[in-house]
Amino acid sequence: MIEDLVRMANQIGDFFGSYPSQEEAAAGIAEHLKKFWTPSMRDKLIEYAQADGKDLSEPVRAALSRISSSAARS
């Protein structure tokens, strides 16, 4: 299952890769994941990213970092 989440997240990252900056791409990815993914899907992907995350693209890792940081502040 994590392979499917990684694949989907990287596809989202590819879409937002055309944004003018890495920062804007990460923000777009994070917003998409918050709006359209269930909390359990996000949690599994964040856990994967923190454990290894080697198959995640850099913009997706940046987006997950944003999500986990904002969750920690809540």
pLDDT in tens, 48-61: 999 999 999 999 99
pTM over 0.85: yes
- Domain range spanning residue 49? 2-73
Q: Please tell me the distance from the alpha carbon of residue 38 to that of residue 24, in angstroms, as a whole number.
A: 22
* Structural domains counted in the chain: 1
Confidence class of residue 13 from pLDDT cuts 50, 70 and 90? very high
Asked whether the beta carbons of 42 and 34 are under 8 A apart, the reply is yes
Angle at 37 between CA 34 and CA 43, to 5 degrees: 80
Contacts of 13 (CB under 8 A, 6+ apart): 25, 29, 56, 57, 59, 60, 63
